[in-house]
Amino acid sequence: MQGFIQQVAAAELTDEAVRLFHGRGGRFPGCEHLCLDWFAPVWLLTSFMPLEAGELASCVAAIAQRWSQLGGDEAFNLVYQYRSGGQTHTQLLHGTVPEPHLVSENGMQFQVHLLRGQNHGLFLDMRNGRQWLKDNAKHKKVLNLFAYTCGFSVAALRGGADEVVNMDMSKGALAIGKQNHVLNGFHAGARFLGHDIFKSWGKLTKLGPYDIIVADPPSNQKGSFVATKDYVRLLRRLPELLSANGEVLLCLNAPELDSQFLRSQVAEVASQLSFIERLDNPAVFEDADPEKALKVLRYRLAAATGG
């Protein structure tokens, strides 16, 4: 617990949605089950196992103490979520959660839902991926695969992309994605396709080619995408969807699969793609073993050599 309490005591808050404590990264012994996020004006404490009453009380006291220093007269809002036996339990411990709950990142706004399930609408570890896209999307046509609530699409349009095609089989996530576009003043420029990617190659080909493709699949969603068997099927299709010198961001958030897993599959089935770099994760997500953390690998379609 010491690591958590010390980090919370030093936490700094702005309007930006951020992770404040990342016990999952294994750098704080005894705190591997704990994470703390700031989705202004709400703190979100997550535990990957049920907390004993005393441990929960210590966490809440540390957060309340820091809030008394930082929050002034503002209300103290705290949501606690824990995982147990494959289930997610969520409790509002203090205050309220705004509805709609709008948060900021890097000049963009997103809608989040802290009281609904374990995915809240914005993956904080992908912040640098969105930043990269924002910085590189000017006048580009972007394909956002596994788009979820379309954070990448908003970032691309904010960076001046000409057009974004979003695809995700969850129509509910895409509906929030559409609202995220409107929130940021984008009333045109994006398509939202609610389909299974593996059944949509014809449609994706017709709408292409793309200058940038983002592929950010789940690691293990039964029946939809299981990285160990499905990533290779996805990789095989990517080169033909890219324009000359097109780029791909390949994302993998599975602690048990390292970047070599992706790199060797690319070499095997999409050797036209050359590895450029792995994007850094935000510093707070630093992991004792970097290969367990989120991997975001950047590739470019090698220029065709004349015969």
Ligand X SMILES: C[S@@+](CC[C@H](N)C(=O)[O-])C[C@H]1O[C@@H](n2cnc3c(N)ncnc32)[C@H](O)[C@@H]1O
Chain positions contacting ligand X, by CB under 6 A: 123, 126, 146-149, 151-152, 168-170, 173, 196-198, 216-218, 221, 224-225
Task: Compute the least distance from the CB of residue 257 to ligand X, in Å.
Answer: 14
- Based on CB atoms, which residue is closest to ligand X, 78 or 150? 150
- Based on CB atoms, which residue is closest to ligand X, 62 or 214? 214
Task: Compute the least distance from the CB of residue 85 to ligand X, in Å.
Answer: 23
Q: Is the peptide bond between 209 and the residue preceding it cis, with omega within 30 degrees of 0?
A: yes
Cα 187 to Cα 190: distance, rounded to the nearest angstrom = 8
Cα 82 to Cα 88: distance, rounded to the nearest angstrom = 6
Are the CB atoms for 121 and 191 separated by under 8 Å?
A: no
Task: Compute the least distance from the CB of residue 253 to ligand X, in Å.
Answer: 7
- Based on CB atoms, which residue is closest to ligand X, 11 or 147? 147
- Based on CB atoms, which residue is closest to ligand X, 45 or 147? 147
Residue 101, strand partner residues: 112
> What is the Cα 69 distance to its own chain's centre?
30
Task: Give the residue carrying structure tokens 């103490």.
Answer: 65
Rg (CA), the chain: 20
Task: Compute the least distance from the CB of residue 174 to ligand X, in Å.
Answer: 8
- Based on CB atoms, which residue is closest to ligand X, 8 or 169? 169
Task: Compute the least distance from the CB of residue 167 to ligand X, in Å.
Answer: 6
Cα 13 to Cα 114: distance, rounded to the nearest angstrom = 18
Query: 171-183 vs 151-158: helix axis angle to the nearest 10?
Result: 30
- Based on CB atoms, which residue is closest to ligand X, 216 or 247? 216
- Six-digit token pair at 147? 């788009």
Cα 226 to Cα 220: distance, rounded to the nearest angstrom = 4
Tell me the backbone φ, ψ of residue 186, rounded to 5 degrees. Answer: -100, 105
Task: Compute the least distance from the CB of residue 217 to ligand X, in Å.
Answer: 6
- Based on CB atoms, which residue is closest to ligand X, 77 or 149? 149
Task: Compute the least distance from the CB of residue 119 to ligand X, in Å.
Answer: 7
Residues 6+ apart with CB under 8 A from 28: 3, 4, 7, 21
- Based on CB atoms, which residue is closest to ligand X, 196 or 277? 196
Task: Compute the least distance from the CB of residue 25 to ligand X, in Å.
Answer: 18
Q: How many CB atoms lie within 10 A of CB 9?
A: 12
Query: 151-158 vs 127-136: helix axis angle to the nearest 10?
Result: 30
Residue 107, strand partner residues: none
